[in-house]
Structure 1
C-alpha cells in the first residue's frame, strides 16, 4: 500500500493544458471505472476544478508510472507534453498536499473555502462509483477533520480577499444588520452577481437591480427576488437605498453629487453607503463631500483586500503547522498498519512451534516418560526454535558488516546496547 497524489494546477500548467486534463461530469464515471479496473490501483479519488486536476490513489508497486501513463492516454495527450507540468507526491507528502488543498493553502486565493466543498464532492463521487478503498476512506475522513480544525483554530478564511466580498464586509460594518437594509445594485455583470450572493448569504432580501437593459438583469433579479429598474430610473429609487453598489462599463458617471444630495434630503439624512467598484467610476468622487454619504472607490476596497491578504498569510503559518503535525500523525498510523500483518505472522509462527512441541510433550507424558525430563526437553526445544531465526539474523548482520541493522535487531530483541 502506497499513497500517491498526481496532478496539475494553476501554478504548474497553462489554462489550455488544464482544460485538456479536466474530468467533466460526463468523463468522471468512465475515469473512475478505468482506475478501479487497473490492477496497480487499490482505490482512487479524482478532484477536477477550473484550477486543478488531481488524482489521489492507493497504489501497488509500479503504480506511479502506470497512473501517469493512464492519465495521458485517457486525455489523449502525449506523456512528453504532460509530464513537465505534473507534480507527484508520495506517502506523507501526498497526505500533506491533500490537506493543504482542502484547507485552501494551495489555492489561487489563499484560504478560499470553496475548495473544501469541491474535495468533499470528489470524495462522494468516488464513493458512489465504489472506487474508495479503506486507506483512501480513512485519509479523506482525516483530511476533512483537519480542514475543520484549521477553520476553527485559525482565521485564514475570515478576511475579505475579493472586491465583491470586501464591499459586503464594509456594508456589514456600517449597518448593524443587512436584513433591514435596502440595496441598490447598479449593473448586472459577474461582479454584481457575486456581490448579490454575498449580500443574500448575510440575510439581505431587499435588492433593486438597475441596468441598461431589462433582459440582462432578469436572471439576476429572479435569482435573488430583486426589483428591476432602468438606469434613468435611479433618481426615483435612490432615496430607498441604504447601500448602493455599482459596477458597470459606463464611460461616464451614472450617479452624480446632486442626485445623491437630493436622495439624502428625502431620507432625512439617514446615512447612505456608496461603493463604486467600476473603472472608470460610476459615482462622482464629489459625492464623498456630502454629509451622511460614505463613498468608497475600488482603490479603497483594493487596499482592504491587500491588508486582509497579508493577514491571511499570517494565519497560514499556523495552518501550515497544523497540516504538518496532522500529516505526520496520519502517516505514523498508516505505517503502524503495515506492521499488523508481520505481527500476526510472527505470532502464528511462534504459536505453531509451541503447539507442535506441546503435543509431543503430552504424548511423552502419556507414554510414561519422566515428567521432569519432558519439561526440560520442552523448554530447551522451545527456546532453540524461537531463537533460531533471530540468531541467524544477528549472525548475518555481523558478518555483512551492517552495524545499524545489528543495532535494530538488538533493540527489537530487548537487548541492552553493549
Structure 2
C-alpha cells in the first residue's frame, strides 16, 4: 500500500523561496553602496545623479508590476520567477560593460540601461516568489510569507552593503558586476527544482491593476512612506560617513539588517496574530526614533545606533501592511495584488533618491534623516486613520 507522505511544515515550504529571494536581492544589495561610490567617486557625478541612478530601477519596476502580476496569475509563479532571474543576470552584463566605456557619460548611460533592465527582473521574480509562498502555505499565513521573504530581501540589501564596499575596493565595479551576474542564476537553479503551483483558471474574473490599487492604497501608501528611511540609508549613508571621515558605513548598514532580521525572527507572527495596523503603527514610531537619532548624530557610534533602531522599527511594517492589503483582494487576483502592493515600495524607492538628493544639496547629508522622520509620521497617520475600516469580504 502506498503511504501518503506527511505534510511539509510551513518552514520547509518557504525555505527554498527564501533562498531564491536572498540570491536575487543580493544582486541588488551588493551594487547599492558601490553605485554611489562609482557614480560619485569614479565617474564624478553629483549626489542628485547618484539618487537617480539608484532610484531609476524602481521606476522601471513600477511600470512592470502590472504585467508581472498578470503573468504570474496566468502562467503560475514558477514561470514568473524563472523568467525574472535570468533577466537580472542580463542587467549585470550592462554593469560589467560600464567601466569600459570611453567617457563618463557613456559609462553612466550603459549603467542606467542595466538599472532599467533590473527593474522588470525584480518585478517578475519577487511577485512570483511572494505569490508562490502564499499558495504553498495558505493565505492565513500571508504575514509569515511576507515576513520570511522580507528577511531575505532586506538582509540581502543590508549584508550586501559591506560586501559591495569590499568588492568595490578590491576588484572595482567590474567585480560588482560579475557577482551580480552569478547570484540570480543560483536562484534560478533552486526554482527549477521546485514543484510549480497550478495557474489560475482562465475563466476567473480578473481585477485590473487600478481596481486592486483602489482596494489597498492606504496600506501601500503607509508602506511607501515607512520605506523612505531605508532608501535614504542605502543611498546616502555611505556618503555622509565619507564627508565626515567616519569609518564603518558598511557596518552601519549591516546593523540595519541585523536589527531588521532579529525582529523578524522572533516576532514575525505578530501581524497575523494582532493585526497589521496595530503592529505597523508601533513599528513606525520606533523607526521614526531611529531617523531622529541619525539626524542628530555627531559620531559614527550614534549614527550606528540610529541605523539599527531604524531597522528594528521597519522590520514588521512590510508584513503588517501586507496582511491588511491581501485581506482585501480575492485569491484569483493574488499576483496582481502582490504586484500592486510592491509597486508602492517602488514609488518610494524611485522618488526618495532624487527628492532627498535635492534636500542634501541644500542642507547637507544629515538633513535627509529629518525627511525620513517626517515620512514616518505620515505613515503612522495613515495607519491610525485606517484602523477602524472593515476589510472587504
TM-score by length of 1: 0.21
* Greater helix share, structure number: 2
Per residue, is there more strand in 1 or in 2?
1
- Choose between structure 1 and 2 for higher RCO, CA contacts under 8 A separated by at least 6 residues: 2
- Normalised to the residue count of structure 2, the TM-score between the two structures is 0.22
CA radius of gyration, larger in: 1
